[in-house]
């Protein structure tokens, strides 16, 4: 069980200009055959389309989906809200090395989200900066961040057992 002595929290949205552009393109393509109805403010046919509901779910999901990172005195916890059923908790004793670094989300892990790569696991929402944990097992856990400077200021290596 993690202690409540929280040192750092971050909540990242998945929304970016690129994601909005992709979702907007999908939405426009889905409704393009119904422009006449839309221009006449007749939305009833739209509600009957599976594409309408798929778009609504996608916009809603990406609107509420967040990558949550919590750094505490006894370890690090990361998960995707509202999907709290898969929380990754890592105690300091299980971490061999830690660093903030630039990474290639597509090249190293195949994209954003919860991703498995050859060397380990990544939780990322957007961007290319992350907190890399090298575990005692040799595996990597990479946690994306939009606030690398704040994490670096914490001097997290002080919590590692080999640094004490």
**Which runs of consecutive H residues, i.e. helices, occur in the chain?**
17-31, 35-39, 44-47, 50-64, 105-109, 148-153
**CATH number of the 81-160 domain:** 2.40.50
In 3D space, the residue among 158, 157, 125, 156 whose CA is nearest the CA of residue 142 turns out to be 125
pLDDT tens column, 83-107: 877 889 999 999 999 999 999 998 8
pTM for the complete prediction? 0.78
Reported as a pLDDT band with limits 50, 70 and 90, residue 138 is very high
Given a contact cutoff of 8 angstroms between Cβ atoms, the answer to whether 157 and 163 are in contact is yes
pLDDT at 164 over 60: no
For residue 150, the Cα-to-chain-centroid distance in whole angstroms is 18
Asked whether 134 and 121 are in contact (CB, 8 A), the reply is no
**Predicted local confidence at residue 1, as pLDDT:** 46
What are the structural domain ranges in the chain? 81-160
Q: Output the six-digit token pair for 149.
A: 């400077």
Helix (H) or strand (E) run with residue 110 in it: none
């Amino acid at each position: 069980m993690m202690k409540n002595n929280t040192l750092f929290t971050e909540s990242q949205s998945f929304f970016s200009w690129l994601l909005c552009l992709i979702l907007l393109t999908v939405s426009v393509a889905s409704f393009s055959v119904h422009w006449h109805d839309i221009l006449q403010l007749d939305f009833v046919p739209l509600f009957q389309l599976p594409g309408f509901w798929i778009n609504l779910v996608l916009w809603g999901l990406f609107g509420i989906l967040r990558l949550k990172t919590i750094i505490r005195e006894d370890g690090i916890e990361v998960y995707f809200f509202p999907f709290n059923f898969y929380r990754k908790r890592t105690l300091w004793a299980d971490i061999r090395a830690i660093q903030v670094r630039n990474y290639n989300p597509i090249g190293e892990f195949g994209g954003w989200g919860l991703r498995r790569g050859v060397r380990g696991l990544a939780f990322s929402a957007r961007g290319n900066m992350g907190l890399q944990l090298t575990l005692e097992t040799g595996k990597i856990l990479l946690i994306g961040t939009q606030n690398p400077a704040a994490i670096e200021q914490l001097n997290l290596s002080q919590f590692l057992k080999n640094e004490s």
